[in-house]
């Protein structure tokens, strides 16, 4: 009897990853949508109720963008700190070799 469970597990994983990709936030799409909302609001053609709906949607998008930018900033800061740490470690190793050469 053939065990299909690894294949099934892989298929489930691929389906889940596909769902995540579709649900992934796109900063660029959010900005375009915000621009469209601003254009609609500026047009003066919307009723008050429609304006409130669009405004609420815009506020939600702005919050999502702010959250995305904060996370991106945090990632960049971590990467910079890691890079600085590697540079310091590299400099420390290089200095130790120079000291040994001077002692000879």
CA of residue 52 relative to chain centroid, distance: 29
How much is the mean pLDDT over the chain?
Answer: 82
pLDDT of residue 49: 96
For the entire predicted model, the pTM comes to 0.59
26-103, superfamily in CATH?
Exonuclease VII, small subunit (1.10.287.1040)
Please check whether residue 60 is in contact with residue 74, taking contact to mean a CB–CB distance below 8 angstroms.
no
Q: Is the pLDDT of residue 41 over 60?
A: yes
Whole-angstrom Cα distance, residue 44 to residue 49?
Answer: 12
pLDDT of residue 8: 72
Q: What is the pLDDT of residue 14?
A: 66
Q: What is the pLDDT of residue 103?
A: 52
Question: Which comes out higher in pLDDT, residue 98 or 65?
Answer: 65
């Amino acid at each position: 009897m053939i065990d299909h469970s690894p294949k099934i597990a892989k298929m489930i994983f691929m389906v889940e990853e596909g769902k995540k990709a579709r649900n992934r936030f796109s900063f660029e799409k959010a900005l375009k949508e915000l621009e469209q909302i601003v254009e609609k609001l500026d047009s003066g053609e919307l009723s008050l109720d429609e304006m409130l709906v669009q405004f609420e949607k815009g506020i939600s998008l702005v919050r999502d963008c702010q959250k995305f930018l904060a996370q991106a900033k945090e990632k960049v800061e971590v990467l910079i700190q890691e890079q600085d740490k590697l540079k310091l470690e590299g400099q420390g190793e290089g200095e130790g070799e120079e000291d040994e050469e001077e002692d000879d």
